[in-house]
Amino acid sequence: EPVLELKGIAKTYNKGKPNAVEVLSGADLSVAAGELVALVAPSGAGKSTLLHIAGLLDVPDSGELRICGRGMTGLSDRRRTAVRRQEVGFVYQFHHLLPEFTALENVVLPQLANGAGRSEAALRAADLLARVGVGNRADHRPAAMSGGEQQRVAFCRALANEPRLLLADEPTGNLDPATSDTVFKTLIELARGTGLSALIATHNMDLAGRMDRVMRLENGRLTVG
């Protein structure tokens, strides 16, 4: 069964008001287990809205959302939060790492919040950091790392609780082109190595082309890109 399924997802901001903005008008998407899908969209097309709905940070006006086969319509906030914590990892354009904590601690903390033991969490964090090439930065705080290193740590944090689905919103949009390229490749390798499914928004068609499939978001709908 698909890890993520969207059927007829619609979303209008300020619905019924003069300043209403119809962003999604029947978006359909199915992401299989282990599949990496690129999301390409012009600015303002609604890619953040779509990712927030897929990641249970926002609720659609209508349509059906299933995560790992489970319907999300009508779920209580508490259950939605539980599904989000267990099944979904997020990566943003800006890393949002906690500045007062080291790289290792930033990857440990979500695991502790999810009930893991401290030593088990530290081992997993160290393993993830090593896999993306920043094992030697484990004891550094974010401010002491380059943008590319910070974003690699953010990937590790997103995968800390072994989610089935990774959602990324322009994950390398804040990096220079060369760094962006290597950091993006690292993300793809990490996803492939863990059997994760991913929906990754990017403006970069070269990078999108490295994924299994490209979907385009335009006029409120998703089409094969």
Binding site for ligand ADP (CB under 6 A): 13-14, 21, 23, 41, 43-49, 57, 90, 92-93, 96, 169
Least distance from C-beta 190 to ligand ADP, angstroms? 18
Which of 128, 133, 139, 202 is closest to 163 using CA atoms?
Answer: 128
Query: Between residues 34 and 86, which has the closer beta carbon with respect to ligand ADP?
Result: 86
Least distance from C-beta 101 to ligand ADP, angstroms? 14
Do residues 160 and 106 touch, judged by C-beta distance below 8 A? Answer: no
Q: Kind and range of the H or E element at 50?
A: helix 47-54
Query: Between residues 22 and 33, which has the closer beta carbon with respect to ligand ADP?
Result: 22
Least distance from C-beta 56 to ligand ADP, angstroms? 9
Query: Between residues 33 and 85, which has the closer beta carbon with respect to ligand ADP?
Result: 85
The dihedrals phi and psi of 202, each to the nearest 5 degrees, come to: -155, 150
Both tokens assigned to 13: 């901001």
Least distance from C-beta 99 to ligand ADP, angstroms? 14
Query: Between residues 14 and 146, which has the closer beta carbon with respect to ligand ADP?
Result: 14
Least distance from C-beta 120 to ligand ADP, angstroms? 22
Query: Between residues 69 and 77, which has the closer beta carbon with respect to ligand ADP?
Result: 77
Q: Kind and range of the H or E element at 45?
A: none
User: What b/e string do you get for 29-67 counting C-beta neighbours within 10 Å, with b at 16 or more?
Assistant: bebeeebbbbbbbeeebbbbbbbbbbbbeeebeebebbb
What is the CB neighbour count within 10 angstroms for residue 182?
13
Least distance from C-beta 1 to ligand ADP, angstroms? 25
| Alpha-carbon gap, residue 169 to 155, rounded angstroms | 12
DSSP string, 63-115: EEEEETTEE-TT--HHHHHHHHHHHEEEE-SS----TTS-HHHHHHHHHHHTT
Least distance from C-beta 44 to ligand ADP, angstroms? 4
Amino acid sitting at position 155: F
Query: Between residues 32 and 59, which has the closer beta carbon with respect to ligand ADP?
Result: 59
Query: Between residues 90 and 155, which has the closer beta carbon with respect to ligand ADP?
Result: 90
